[in-house]
Structure 1
Amino acid sequence: MSHSAWIILIGSLVASSCGLVGCFLILRRMAMLGDAISHAILPGIVLAFLISHSMDGIVMLIGATIVGLLTAFFIQTLHGSGVQSDAAIGVTFTALFSLGVVLVSLYTSRVHLDLQHVLYGEIAYAPWELVTFIGIELPKAVWMMGGVFVLTLTVVGLLYKEIKLTSFDPQLATALGIPVVWIHYTLMGLVSMNTVAAFESVGAILVVAMLVIPGATAYLLTERLSRMLLLSLLFGVTSAVGGYLLAVFWDVSISGSMTTFALLQFVLGFLFAPRQGLLSRWVSYKMLQRSHTTER
């Protein structure tokens, strides 16, 4: 495969996997929790390196997942104690992110692990870091994101009914004996793994957009969860392809262009969606207004 094809594949895996798990964050009104976890995992990455003295992706994935789950636990605990939801998110992620910044400054000054490396990433370099596994040599980002994407698909497929019910009616799910708390932390674990698997290629800041925008765009176009999930995958892939073409044409950041293309899709959906689009609602309002005028 060409260098361009690898970039598009990596971007598609990131956007699709994050978009899939992001749909459930949107339905649960927890979209900003993805932003919180993406920043709060920084101390987990640093601590994983300090313990293992390795920057291996699996080690980082484990460390970040643990801290991501702790982030969700702290936020839930604060909210359950009477703190407003947005305040609980703000306090938790800023505290953990600040701790991560201090740890990076203190212990990783001589290692290629800094804020630029962790938060921004560069997808153009991702195809050059090759890893051989089971006799197959592929870019490290493809192994990482491909594995996380397959895991995300598997978990969502196996727990689809449970995640769906706990997202729409957690009280009913509890009454039916579904472990709502366990489902919640399973979802948070997937968010954490998607974030850290993507930070080297697109960066933790830009992955927040992929957690929210494809799912939000799909939400505008359908009222069925299954279609929403499929559309989020579609918008994720088109964001990667279209964003790369924009980056080549304008000679700008690839990750930024992918996010911009995803935003463009959202704007089009916001304006022209059949039922929830701004234009559709305006036409419906005018027709209703005209019918009232005719009746008079």
Structure 2
Amino acid sequence: MMIEVLFVLIVTAMATSLLGVFLVLRGMAMVTDAISHTILLGIVLAFFITNDIRSPWLIIAASLVGVLTVYIIELVSQTRLIRQDAAIGFVFTALFAVAIILVSKYAGDVHLDLDVVLMGEVIFAPFNRIEIFGLSIPNALWQLSIILLINIAFVLLFYKELKITSFDPKFAYIAGFSVAFIHYALMTLVSVTAVAAFDAVGSILVINFFVAPALTAYLLVRRLGTMIMLALSFAVLNSVAGYYTSLYFDLSVAGTTSFIALITFMIVFLFNSNGWVSSFVQKTRQKKQFNRAMILMLLNEKSHESLTQEEIMSHFNLTPKRFNRHIDHLLMNEYIEKHNKNYRLTQRGVEFTHYTRIKYELPEMNDHY
């Protein structure tokens, strides 16, 4: 039964991250936050009508409310009286507040409690089962698998349209693509997927499932097809790692998976080729190379004489530790040689200095000193 929990988690992560790629590219990550909260209003209203927490009308109503949320946000934003982020905050908090009031007032005795709605609990998924071709499987796994297939079919069918409208919506409009249709179709699928993911990860953590794998992939690649495949891979990786970590430490499965997604993102953020650590290392290396090149150029300008340690340190205001680090490197690479306590260029150092000055178009040292 526990392996079924893992399957539900993986399918949930894949279904959400697939659409999350296009949300990230369109700069609509926070719209996902709004949708994941306001669809609760559609669930509540449909439940009051059907009195069935498993009714398909809940998904339909929630999807309609999700699309309505996007429409209201855009309607408010287009007035240019307030910015889009303010419109998102205003609309989703208002609709979500109505849903919370209705749940707490009229649905406190059913499985529509606030803890499950907000946080989700994927370990309960295997207890609600359905018979499919004589095989008993979790209902959540069945629903999310269908939604995953629908999302895949949508992306494959409208791949070109999604790509153009995500990267250049103005060109897409001029070229005759139905920008509005693609936009609202995507938002509808986001709403449906978020509703189905409610039981597994709740309305708060579902935002992480939509956005985190896509953002992590975005840091590594720029080609859309590769980004999609990488986002799905991160979704599976986060799910498997989060699942087994939660079992080992007896933690919330969805919460642990979201935390693993954060760790994965931070690792990529810090250590990718353009990440903070890589940039810091590169800047440090460039600074060292520049300082060593300046020492060589100084010695080259003083080619008729050798310089002492004190003269070089005084010229560049170097500490003994930094001086020794630079000089050891230059000696080891045979750019300079030491006679008694003085330093001067070797022939290799002269050639390297000449090459460096031409490459970076540096002036003569006497121009500055």
TM-score, normalised to structure 2, is 0.76
- Partner residue of 1:51 out of 49, 52, 58: 49
Q: Aligned-pair distance for 1:291?
A: 5.7
For structure 2, the 5+ residue unaligned runs are: 294-356, 363-369
1:181 maps to what in 2? Answer: 180
Matched residue of 1:203: which SS? Answer: helix
1:262 maps to what in 2? Answer: 261
Contact 1:57 1:144 in 2 (8 A): no
Which of the pair has the greater relative contact order for Cα pairs under 8 Å at 6+ separation?
Answer: 1
Q: Give me the whole-angstrom Cα distance separating, in 2, the residues matched to 1:119 and 1:59.
A: 20
Q: Deviations over 1:178-207 (max 9, x none)?
A: 011111111111111111101111211111
Q: Give me the whole-angstrom Cα distance separating, in 1, the residues matched to 2:167 and 2:181.
A: 16
1:107 maps to what in 2? Answer: 106
Q: Aligned-pair distance for 1:135?
A: 3.4
Q: Give me the whole-angstrom Cα distance separating, in 2, the residues matched to 1:269 and 1:186.
A: 31
Q: Give me the whole-angstrom Cα distance separating, in 2, the residues matched to 1:128 and 1:104.
A: 23
Alignment of 1:115-134 (within 5 A): 115-134=114-133
Q: Deviations over 1:17-56 (max 9, x none)?
A: 1111111111111111111111111110001111222111
Q: Give me the whole-angstrom Cα distance separating, in 2, the residues matched to 1:101 and 1:277.
A: 41
1:249 maps to what in 2? Answer: 248
Number of aligned residues: 293
Q: Deviations over 1:86-127 (max 9, x none)?
A: 001001100100110122133323322121232222111111
Deviating above 6 A after TM superposition, structure 1's stretches of 4 or more consecutive aligned residues are: none
1:28 maps to what in 2? Answer: 26
Q: Give me the whole-angstrom Cα distance separating, in 1, the residues matched to 2:108 and 2:46.
A: 16
For structure 1, the 5+ residue unaligned runs are: none
1:66 maps to what in 2? Answer: 64
Contact 1:166 1:180 in 2 (8 A): yes
Structure with larger Rg: 2
Q: Give me the whole-angstrom Cα distance separating, in 2, the residues matched to 1:77 and 1:228.
A: 31
Alignment of 1:191-270 (within 5 A): 191-270=190-269
Contact 1:17 1:194 in 2 (8 A): yes
Letter in 2 for 1:17: A
Letter in 2 for 1:98: A
Contact 1:57 1:197 in 2 (8 A): no
Q: Deviations over 1:256-276 (max 9, x none)?
A: 1111111111011001112x2
Letter in 2 for 1:26: V
1:279 maps to what in 2? Answer: 277
Alignment of 1:86-97 (within 5 A): 86-97=85-96
Q: What percent of counterpart residues are identical?
A: 41
